[in-house]
Structure 1
Amino acid sequence: MCLPGGPSAPPPLLLLLLLLGPPAAQGDCNIPPEVPNAQPTLGGLSSFHEGSTVTYKCNEGFVKVPGRADSVVCFNNKWSEVAEFCNRSCDVPTRLLFASLKKSFTKQNYFPAGSIVEYECRPGFQRDHFFSGKLTCLQNFTWSKPDEFCKKKSCPNPGDLRHGHVSIPTDLLYGSSISFSCNEGYRLVGETSSYCSLVDKDVGWSDPFPECQEIFCPEPPEISNGFILDPRNTYVYQQTIKYRCNESFTLIGKNSIYCTVRGDQGEWSGPPPECKGSQIPKVTPPAQKSTTVIGSATKPTSTPQKPTTANVPSTKATSTQKPSTANVSAKQSSATPKTTSTPNGKGTVSSDAAIIAIGHTCITLTVLCMMLVTIG
């Protein structure tokens, strides 16, 4: 309704809209409040609309306390309240080579002063109950020094290697190694080393132990005009063989060789000897004419004569001979007897003929003896 001469009143609907409509800045929030040991993540903004959320991040050296809120919300032109949620803490517990954290502590990241964590032995180690298996977060927010409360397990003793050696550089504990070698004349078949490692839930040797096999030499070389003394089916390290030549052959070189080893193969120490023909000349005795010496002589008459005694040089025996015939050559032959007369009228054997016959006999026997000695 308008009064005469006065301004007209606004429509009732317009007045209702003006009363219900919020001001332009209603519901906006400014910078979030400060939180001890934390900084808000603003993203470059200085004001935030209704319902906006800002999250805080703990300063270096501080850790969020589990279960506490770390953000605020803009509501009715102001921020929601937030309690202190950043606190000092030890770092993640010390990682140990011989032990690991028990499962209940693996997901935890907040360790205030006085916190205690517990470990369990890793595979390959066993618990030494003389020492504590726990660590404590000290007041300076460092962990207490751990004792070696888990000891390495030991692998079984490898024992002896037949025809070889087992070398143990340090010990038989988990992680250590041993090596194998064979005696001279044997080759190693298998692995040269083995490690004490995890086997199922315990410890054992990583590889089976090797064995040492004897090395054999090949068949020894044969030689012409000779042979091997006492041959065998097999020949092993340092075994010796000897050679001998056939009759009338001479051995040139060493009469023996032995089996030796190069690497893991057997071989002979050197070449075999040779057998060459004998160079000793044959001795032919001179041909001798058969000589007959008649030991009796006769007078021109038929009167019987006394036996004649002949003295032979280099022979002291004297014998009385009946008229006889001495054959000097190997063949028996007869000859016409020669007679000699003496001034006394008695018949005697010529001393020159006897000496010549005996001399020829001695020479012939000497030559025959030399031939027999040479051939034998």
Structure 2
Amino acid sequence: MPGQLLAVLVLLLQPLGTQESQCPIPSIAHGQLSSAENFTFGSTATLQCDPGFVGTASTARCTHSGRWYPRVPSCTPGQCRHPPSVEFADFQPRREFPVGTTLSYSCRAGFSLIPGVSPTITCLQNFTWSAVPRLCQKVQCPSPAIPHGTETSPSRAEYTFGQQVEFQCDHGFMLRGSDRVQCSSDGIWRPPVPYCDRVCGPPPKITNGQHSGMGFTQFTYGSEVKYSCAEGLSLIGNKSLYCTSEDGENLTWSGRAPECRAVRCPKPVVERGRMSPQVFTFPYGLLLHFSCEEGFRLRGAAQSQCLADGTWDPPVPTCQPVLCPPPQVPFGKLKSPLGEQRWYQTNETVTLECLPGYQFPDNGMMENAWTATCLPDGSWTPLPKCMKEGDADVCQEVHYIKSTFECGMPVEKVKSLLEIQKLFLEIKKLEMELEN
């Protein structure tokens, strides 16, 4: 700028006759004109823009009228070309990329940013983009190895997005889950990686029978299989087997397989008895319940089951007649010409009498006798009591007083009766003392 001012002063100091046409020194934003000559008629100037800017024209000439031709150029911001492509990455699309523009790349699905690498680039003043490093790497999934299982597909050191893995379990194990998984874009196996569960092999087969697990080759812990026999045969042994563990690690079936055999027990015969259910054949395992007719009592177990050896257990019971023991009456005896018996049949009747000096409470009985009957449950009809002579009168009085309360007699009258009863008891007491 000081040189340009000096050129202007020189022109002003020249004589008018020798003054040449002078072009003004233009003010150009973000740039300037430069020339080897003064800005006089016929001189040529070159446009120089600041870094990051470009000119609309490269040169200008000063005309005799003192103007620049073409018109004074200008400097405008420069732009970078389309950003470079980055493998497995994209950026937000736009039309222009002025100097200073910053772009940020994002990794595509299934790829992740390499740690420590910046995903941004900048349009520099020389209209080129800053260096673009490798930004994205394929997403990796963890190793899908499973205990007691192997990959049927080729194994790899790394498992990246999109790769598939197939599995199978070792002998004695069953795959729980999907047998094929794929590494997803978020680094997770989908479906989830399966696992190998311990199993039992096929349960033992039986002759003339089958089990509920037919068609299956593997059975998980706790599985149950039920056995059944062909028609007409009975299942001897456990009806079910379970897949279990005896040592806490290996699985095995819970026991020996049952057998199918033709087992029948003989028809039980219980005279004067009944059984349920009412059936015509008696196969293995049948449970019967027994009871007796009235007047008979069951001797033995009330139920019995048909065993594998064709016998009943417990043994079939019998029905025995119900008998009554000899009736026991204190101070009394049987009035029978044949004397006492050891046992008495149901409905058999005996006659009782009191020993000398004793009597039944009810003096109105004929010949002071009492009859009792043997009941079907082995007991007697109510037996009497033999009381000392005189005590029977007291009992009669007590029963009479009791009946007066129950029939609603006036209290005053009851009191009078009680007074009389008191005198009666005192007289009886004196009589007993005199006898002693």
Band the TM-score falls in, shorter-chain normalisation? 0.3 to 0.5
| TM-score, normalization by structure 1 | 0.36
TM-score of the two chains, using structure 2 as the length reference: 0.32
Which gives a bigger RCO, structure 1 or 2 (Cα 8 Å, sep 6+)?
A: 1
